[in-house]
Amino acid sequence: MVLFTGDIQRATSHIFTCIRDKDGWSINDKHDYNMETLRIEKAGGDISQRKIFMDYFGTTVRGVEDVSF
């Protein structure tokens, strides 16, 4: 079986954008949310109501204060 670059890119795009977890978030959604949370934290904003998704395929979360930079 031969996979071409275009096939791999389409599969990757589908996995990261279309497949949703039980909470309704895609991997891209969770990644974008994490990056925005870290940006707010770095700027000194209030992130008390935010969590960091540590396992994109599950529901494991960790508080921002527990994430090492």
Q: Which residues of 25-59 are buried (b: 16+ CB within 10 A; e: fewer)?
A: bbbebbeeebeebbeebeeeeebeebebbeebeee
The first and second tokens of residue 27, run together, are 């991997």
Q: pTM above the 0.85 mark?
A: no
Question: Is the CB of residue 31 less than 8 Å from the CB of residue 41?
Answer: no
> Per-residue pLDDT tens for 7-64?
888 888 888 888 887 788 888 898 899 899 989 989 999 988 888 887 666 555 666 5
- The residue among 63 and 69 whose pLDDT is bigger is 63
